[in-house]
Amino acid sequence: MDKFISVEQAVSMVKDGMTLMIGGFLGVGSANKVLKGIHDAGIKNLTIIGNDTAFVDKGVGILVANHQVKKAIVSHIGTNPETIAQLNSKELEIELDQKRIREGNEFINNRTEEIEKSKTEVDERSEDLEAKRAELESIVAETKQQEEKLRERGKELELAIEPRLLTAFKRIRKNSRNGLGIVTVQRDACGGCFNKIPPQKQMDIRMRKKIIVCEYCGRIMIDPELAGFAKEEPKATKKRSRAKKTEE
């Protein structure tokens, strides 16, 4: 037998009452010329097996519309109103592909379960969020109270400061980006703008004899001890011990 036969030959092999397995998805990929041949030949009482019954004017659907099909084993008929009409008038028997339907149902069930799970998770997260929000609110309230107290204390302290100095200090604060008017010297640099401060100036700062401002940012500089911070660790110790090691 030849591997290739003509459309006419193929159509001539189809007889009344035969079962045909037809490829394609909604008419796409179906052997449309053969189907047209079967349609024109008027072969009847066919049982078709396929994915669907396509459309009234497309794919295997033309055989249904021409009343040539007595039974269709498919998994979808929704796109062909003729199939549904004939199913309702009991002219056409439909055997929906049970395996596909079962798989479809399983898929739907799995998804439903997933959705349920996600919902529970969302609920739990919402509770967490609510708790955190309440926590944050109480922290904010507390902070506000503290801020209020500090403001009060600030007002009290302002009364004890020479007005000229206070005005100057307020101007420095206003001009500094982080609102700090007084900074400490850290690692030989201004704690406000991080520019290096020469040793002599650092010495002057430590003497606490006069107010010294940073020449770069204008902030008042004080030594860490005055600010209540611990004295900086002397850096030389570590270096010296390491140097000793290399010598050995």
Q: What residue ranges bind Zn ion (CB under 5 A)? A: 190, 192-193, 214, 216-217
169 vs 216, beta carbon nearer Zn ion: 216
Sheet containing 19-21: which strands, arranged edge to edge? 19-21, 46-49, 69-74, 93-96
Q: How far is the CB of 207 from Zn ion (least distance, A)?
A: 19
With residue 100 as reference, give the H or E element that holds it.
helix 98-159
177 vs 244, beta carbon nearer Zn ion: 177
90 vs 177, beta carbon nearer Zn ion: 177
97 vs 204, beta carbon nearer Zn ion: 204
Q: How far is the CB of 195 from Zn ion (least distance, A)?
A: 5
CA distance 24 to 30: 4
The position carrying tokens 């001009």 is 175
CA distance 209 to 159: 22
Q: How far is the CB of 128 from Zn ion (least distance, A)?
A: 44
22 vs 214, beta carbon nearer Zn ion: 214
179 vs 234, beta carbon nearer Zn ion: 179
Torsions phi, psi for 183 (to 5 deg):
-130, 160
Q: How far is the CB of 133 from Zn ion (least distance, A)?
A: 39
Secondary structure of 179-230 as H, E, C letters: CCCEEEEECCEECCCCCECCHHHHHHHHHCCCCEECCCCCCEEECCCCCCCC
Strands 182-186 and 189-190: antiparallel
DSSP 92: S
CA-based radius of gyration for the chain: 45
Q: How far is the CB of 190 from Zn ion (least distance, A)?
A: 3
Q: How far is the CB of 194 from Zn ion (least distance, A)?
A: 7
